[in-house]
Amino acid sequence: MELSTLWFLLIAGLFVGYFVLEGFDFGVGMLVPVLGRDDRERRVVINTIGPLWDGNEVWLITAGGAMFAAFPEWYATLFSGFYLPLLLILLALILRGVAFDYRGKRPEAAWRRRWDAAIVFGSAVPAFIWGVAFANIVRGVPLDAGHNFTGGLFDLLSPYALLGGLTTTALFLTHGAIFLALKTAGDIRTRANRLAERFGLVAAVLAVLFLGLTLAHRSTPAALVLSALAVLCLAGALVANRLPSRTDAEGRREGWAFAGTALAIALAVASLFAGLYPNVLPSTVDAAVNSLTVENASSTPYTLKIMSWVAVVFAPIVVLYQGWTYWVFRKRIGTQHIPE
């Protein structure tokens, strides 16, 4: 396997990890005022992702850095053509991080409601825009012979791209609701289970429609298989979320449900990359000449070789550390753990 193809697969893996992990905390952020009926319940919802959300964002930083080093042409064209959407994502993520920290600085209810709204905004905007962005990456954008983006903002807002944004938002809401059911106790857990059922049905319909349109436009055998598996995993997650637990009389099989939504998101993102390859950013203008591919967008073989050795050494350390973090904060929490 050529190093350029290897790094395409590694970047795909980084985005898979980012959407699976950041997906549930985007969903939790959007659900703060929905599932939290008072301040203590909202604090429970926020505390489920408190030790995790910043670590999840490392996957995005690493993916961006890997794109910059391994595929500089892809990085340059993508970040210049998608400048405004990516800037909105960055601002939303900054606002969300500030909201997590500043929400508890003052006791007034109005102060905390404003920061709760900031958490919702900072979670919903990236959840939607990432779907729009990846829909455009797969569908293609207008590029000239110099691989420069020649379109405008409204070229990125096609019905297909907006459907991609709605799909990721619905998937992340379902993923987040199931995560809350897995991590909380009492009434919040029960309400989260019910919300997961409702959001899950919407997400399933949108996912089937979006993946179907994607395959109609850019299909490969691998993309077809991965898309079908993603839909099956999402359906399995919804079934598991309805089944009673064998060990907990008050709960359902949230662990299996969460694994199902995680696999569904991972397989769906993988199917997009499988349909994209060997392109990294197709052009809608003279696609055979103007498209960016893993060959014409990559760095030199020597650069990719050095990067590969760095990844071999440091990637396992990062994964093991994050896995340890999840293990440490694995237990359920409820309002009984939140002081007045």
Instruction: Dig out the tokens for 45 from the structure.
Output: 């919802």
Report d(CA 338, CA 335) in Å as an integer. 5
Contact 79, 130 (CB under 8 A): no
pLDDT digits (tens, 9 = 90+) for 220-246: 899 999 999 999 999 999 999 888 776
Task: Give pLDDT, residue 13.
Answer: 94
Q: Rounded mean pLDDT of the chain?
A: 90
Q: Cβ–Cβ contacts within 10 Å for residue 2, how many?
A: 12
Structural domains in the chain, sorted by start: 3-328 (1.20.1630.10)
Whole-structure pTM value: 0.94
Task: Give pLDDT, residue 227.
Answer: 93
Q: Cβ–Cβ contacts within 10 Å for residue 259, how many?
A: 17
Residue 251 has pLDDT above 70, yes or no: no
- pLDDT classification of 248: cutoffs 50, 70, 90: low
